[in-house]
Amino acid sequence: MKRHVLSMREFSKEEIDSVLDLAQSVEPLARGKKSSILAGKILALLFFEPSTRTRMSFETAMKRLGGSVINLGPAEGSSISKGESLADTVRVIGGYADALVIRHPKEGSARLASQFSPVPVLNAGDGAGHHPTQTLLDLYTIRKESRLENLHIALVGDLKYGRTVHSLAYALSLYGADITLVSPPALRMPDPIKSDLSSKGTIVRETSDLGEVIDNVDVLYMTRIQRERFPDPVEYQKVASSYRITPESLANSRENLIIMHPLPRVDEISPSVDDTAHARYFQQSFYGVPVRMALLKMLMGGDQVG
Amino acid sequence: MAELAVKTDKNNDETDRIKEEPRGLRVKPITNGTVIDHIAGGQALNVLKILGISGTTGATVSVVMNVESKKLGKKDIVKVEDRELREEELNKIALIAPAASINIIRNCKVIEKRPVDLPDEIVGVVRCQNPNCISNTHEPIKSRMLVKGKNPVVLRCLYCEQPLTERIAEYLI
């Protein structure tokens, strides 16, 4: 049984399937059916940098399972500002709770936490490193709303810095997906990640033209292109507008195309797309709850995975 | 420049080995201790750094740098007297000197001769090159590098998973 959830690289395809199956079985509870599976258990949320949806979705997941949550609170007033190490913080709070969720600006922080914590650690984002629960909820969304096998997906936007797309691409390679990378040349996926995907037999194509692929994919996975990546604001505007999805740009897309986005979005998806049959990003966001419930149940409730 | 120790495979006596040197002794043979031969030219001081041997450790240490070598072009040699270095200590030098060979000397005889073999994990020797890695902060941990390839050497930080393949000597702690 898994003791921690730190990186997608530690999940086999079978283990991912087990988590997704478990998420499916707890989804009615995520929608409000009463449960006391984790009654009496406490989850500690250690967010060392701001987060809204990940923190609230973990909190919701724990409460839907009948457990309770303690929060680190603003870092300014806490022991962190007094210079306490993460190792000590984790040892102390691990003594109060049954599991820890950690988000921290430094890469590798969740793994360090797992070495010192007496209880399971879930990585909710470590700098530019991993965010495995996001990847699992993305996979759950694809499995529910499209299909995981024989999938053709386009990953669009900032593929250089976006940690979400790196681990999603890795996980999809386990399912033999056909992946098209769509990004401006300056924000292409780093070569080591691409060669890792190709070495697993994944078909990886690369283009900077979204129009080239939009009509031929099952899933469009959009990400935000951050303004600060471009020193020239004119260049940013040009790039941002060429990666914007509108109902018109979807005119010839596949009927069963779904559009995903880890949110928050800025201009990548026009709000008028929300009402089309393709939009899935709000469902995707909701699916974070059953997926995180599955993981919490697995780590604290004794469910075997894999 | 003449090469030292040209017939090491046939002669296991340190004194005999030095006799092979045509232009006389560069460094005298040692009676007891460890001779690290076939270090890539210019890397001897980094080898000492990895082994934690400095001027304050008290050991008598001889260093020969950039002598000609048929095998390597230029090579360095390090001799540490009266100290038989342990295998796990020595294997770490394969990080920067993968062709190095180790000779343990007792009473002027080579009693053991073997190549270095990089272990699967290197702890506390090389720091991660990622400035935003948690291992480069004040946390109470040592750097941990997983060895993903031996020739060429490919390391991966256990914490942030960033690979380190080039200029490894620059990241020695």
Q: How far is CA B24 from CA A54, A67, B21, in A?
A: 72, 80, 6
Segment (H or E) for B131: none
Integer Cα distance of A72 and B146 in angstroms: 32
Do B68 and B106 lie in a common domain?
A: yes
B18 and B93 within one domain: yes
Contact A111 B132 (CB under 8 A): no
Query: How many structural domains compose chain B?
Result: 2
Based on the domain organization, do B43 and B95 belong to the same domain? yes
Nearest to A108 among B138, B159, B163 (CB): B159
Q: Which residues of B touch A167 (CB under 8 A)?
A: none
A62 at interface of B, judged by CB pairs closer than 8 A: no
Q: What is the ipTM of this complex?
A: 0.87
Question: Residues B132, B70: one domain?
Answer: no
Euclidean distance between the first and final Cα of chain A, in Å? 7
- Which residues of chain A make contact with B132, given a CB cutoff of 8 A? 105-107, 127-128
Q: Kindly report, residue by residue over A292-302, the tens digit of the pLDDT.
A: 999 999 999 85
**Domain-located, residue A76:** yes
Same domain, A293 and A183: no
The reply to whether omega before A28 is within 30° of 0 (cis) is: no
A2 within some domain: no
Phi, psi of B81 (to 5 degrees): -85, 145
> How many domains does chain A fold into?
2
Neighbouring C-alpha atoms within 13 Å toward the C-beta of B128: 25
Q: Is B8 part of any domain? A: no
pLDDT tens readout for residues A213-268: 999 999 999 999 888 778 888 888 888 888 999 999 999 999 999 999 999 998 89
Q: Which residues, in sequence order, are CB contacts of A50 under 8 Å at separation 6+? A: none
Domain that holds residue A111: 8-130+288-300
What CATH code is carried by the domain that includes residue A68? 3.40.50.1370
A72 belongs to a structural domain: yes
- Please give the residue range of the domain that contains residue B148: 121-171
CB A185 within 8 A of CB A211: no
Shortest distance between the Cα of B9 and any Cα of chain A, in A, equals 41
Tell me: do B98 and B130 sit in the same domain: no
Q: Which residues in chain A have Cβ-Cβ distances shorter than 8 Å to B139?
A: 85-87, 112
pLDDT digit string, tens, across residues A78-133: 667 678 899 999 999 999 999 999 999 999 999 999 999 999 999 999 988 899 99
First to last CA, chain B: 33
The DSSP line for A220-263 is EEE-PPPGGG-SSHHHHHHHHHHT-B-TGGGTTS-TT-EEE--S
Chosen domain end from B71, B89, B115: B115
- Is residue A305 in some structural domain? no
Same domain, A153 and A271: yes
Low-confidence ranges of chain B (pLDDT < 70): 1-26
Predicted TM-score (pTM) of this structure: 0.86
B116-147 as b/e: b if 16+ CB within 10 A: bebeeebeebbbbbbebbbbbeebebebbbeb
Domain-embedded: residue B7: no
Residues B19 and B87 both lie in one domain: yes
Looking at the fold, whether B50 and B125 belong to one and the same domain comes out as no
* Residue B49 located in a structural domain: yes
Please indicate, yes or no, if residue B5 is contained in any of the structural domains.
no
